[in-house]
Amino acid sequence: MTDFQPRSDFLRILEERGFIHQCSDFAGLDALAAKGEAVGYIGFDATAPSLHAGSLVQIMLLHWLQQTGNKAIALMGGGTTMVGDPSGRDESRKMLTPGDIEANKAGIRQVFSKFLTFGTGGRDAVMLDNAEWLLKLNWIEMLRDVGRHFSVNRMLSMDSVRLRLERDQEMSFIEFNYMVLQSYDFAHMAKTVGCNLQMGGSDQWGNIVNGVDLGRRMGTHQLYALTTPLLTTASGAKMGKTAQGAVWLNADMLSPYDYWQYWRNAEDADVSKFLRKFTVLPISEIIRLEALQGAEINEAKIVLATEATTLLHGRAAAESAAETARKTFQEGALAADLPSVDVAASEVEAGLGLLSAFVKAGIVPSTGEARRQIKSGGLRLNDAVVSDERAMLGAEAFNADGVAKLSMGKKKHVLLRLT
């Protein structure tokens, strides 16, 4: 960033927390935000019933926009989803039915409501869906009103296009048009809801600036662009993705405990970055935590996990996850809200192999994997290493409450409950 000194709370907070990569006009946007007149949006795909941690940066951006007295718009890409976002070269981008998209939007809305206050008042956040206007577009009108403002020469020179062409990679016409649609969204919302700011990841810069341009050509008020640095973890992984899958934000897709664990397991090098972006702790407190060295960083990680989980799932759920983790990892005790799976008492009496029990608990996918883990000493029953793959799970393994703890490695624990 430049040496620009923001006056607005909005830009000041974004800057000190490391959210800013590029902005089309710092001074202009700053003046707007200082008056509480910024109306900013970010677009989100409606391809899944929940967002994942990879979208958190953008969500926090909207959060701060609203917290600093401005208006936030979460735009669902219901229309662009019908087309399929081509920028990822992922194979299966099936067309979603309108029903799917509606269901996904409902799920995503739940997440947003944790970070934003929705409503109809001036400062309330709103959720829009570009299907509302994109699906009605007429090809000829579109060409005449919007298409004439786009220079193909310029589109070809944009990074997103140029790099593909240079590498001789195929780019479909639909993909080429994506930026037109996105620009149109921006200009359309400028006219209809007074939107004047679009934010997004740094890879969106070209598309956003195109929207700013289109607005000017179509005679809207001045539009602004703001992008965030692309976030990866210290080891280069995409934010929000683990080998097990995405870090979902909806509680029914990823439990608060697992969400807490995701942050607790952050690499040292990521802790500072995460504290600034994914918690709302005062900067002074963050600076104190950043100063911790060596094993003390674990304290910072616990604060990170608890604060990040609080934002999404509430203080109670976060504290409970922290307590479960403390019992499990520090005391080795049996904490009640570890993930649990029920087994019928009759099944145990009939003779349940330990291997099958581990499969049943969902710890390993097959008995073969269970055998392998036993060979390398990875499986434990009530904290005792399992060495006999023929062992049975007897009634004596369950404590007075009818609970037995099955573990693999240091971090994976599941409780079996007799029913």
Instruction: Compute the least distance from the CB of residue 276 to RNA, in Å.
Output: 18
Instruction: Compute the least distance from the CB of residue 269 to RNA, in Å.
Output: 7
Asked whether 227 and 202 are in contact (CB, 8 A), the reply is: yes
Instruction: Compute the least distance from the CB of residue 73 to RNA, in Å.
Output: 36
The tally of CA atoms less than 13 A away on the side-chain side of residue 313 is: 25
Sign of the Cα torsion 117, 112, 13, 36 reads negative
Interface residue with RNA, options 100, 268, 290, 319 (CB under 7 A): 268
Q: Judging by DSSP bridges, how do beta strands 22-23 and 224-228 pair with one another? A: antiparallel
Beta strand extents in 132-216 (DSSP E only): 197-201
Instruction: Compute the least distance from the CB of residue 97 to RNA, in Å.
Output: 23
Interface residue with RNA, options 140, 295, 350, 400 (CB under 7 A): 295
Of 82-90, 151-159, 272-280, 363-371, which segment contacts RNA by CB under 7 A?
A: 363-371
Shorter beta-carbon distance to RNA: residue 295 or 350: 295
The tally of CA atoms less than 13 A away on the side-chain side of residue 339 is: 18
Interface residue with RNA, options 365, 387, 394, 419 (CB under 7 A): 365
Shorter beta-carbon distance to RNA: residue 20 or 335: 335
Shorter beta-carbon distance to RNA: residue 105 or 360: 360
Q: Beta-carbon neighbour count of residue 133 at 10 Å?
A: 15
Q: How far apart are CA 201 and CA 214, in angstroms?
A: 20
Query: Site residues for RNA, window 133-152 (CB under 7 A)?
Result: none
Query: Site residues for RNA, window 198-237 (CB under 7 A)?
Result: 235
> And the tokens for 392?
């049975």
Instruction: Compute the least distance from the CB of residue 378 to RNA, in Å.
Output: 3
Question: In the stretch 296-325, what mask flags binding to RNA with x, by CB under 7 A?
Answer: -xx--x-----------------------x
Residue 255's closest CA among 329, 354, 190, 337?
Answer: 337
Instruction: Compute the least distance from the CB of residue 17 to RNA, in Å.
Output: 22
Residue 265 found at the interface with RNA (CB under 7 A):
yes
Residue 364's closest CA among 403, 404, 395, 406?
Answer: 406
Instruction: Compute the least distance from the CB of residue 240 to RNA, in Å.
Output: 14
Instruction: Compute the least distance from the CB of residue 92 to RNA, in Å.
Output: 11
Residue 174 found at the interface with RNA (CB under 7 A):
no
Shorter beta-carbon distance to RNA: residue 267 or 349: 267
Residue 367 found at the interface with RNA (CB under 7 A):
yes
Residue 408 found at the interface with RNA (CB under 7 A):
yes
Q: How far apart are CA 365 and CA 264, in angstroms?
A: 25
Report phi then psi at 294, rounded to 5: 55, -135
Instruction: Name, in order, each residue with C-beta under 8 angstroms of 219's C-beta and a sequence gap of 6 or more.
Output: none
Q: In what order do the strands lie in the sheet with 403-408?
A: 340-343, 412-418, 403-408, 379-381, 384-385
Residue 113 found at the interface with RNA (CB under 7 A):
no
Residue 329 found at the interface with RNA (CB under 7 A):
yes
> And the tokens for 383?
């904290």
Which one-letter DSSP state was computed for residue 330?
Answer: I
Residue 387 found at the interface with RNA (CB under 7 A):
no
Q: How far apart are CA 46 and CA 78, in angstroms?
A: 6
Instruction: Compute the least distance from the CB of residue 51 to RNA, in Å.
Output: 22
Asked whether 209 and 225 are in contact (CB, 8 A), the reply is: yes
Q: Which residues bind RNA (CB under 7 A)?
A: 168, 170, 235, 243-244, 261, 264-268, 294-295, 297-298, 301, 325-326, 328-329, 355-356, 359, 365-369, 371-373, 375-378, 408-412
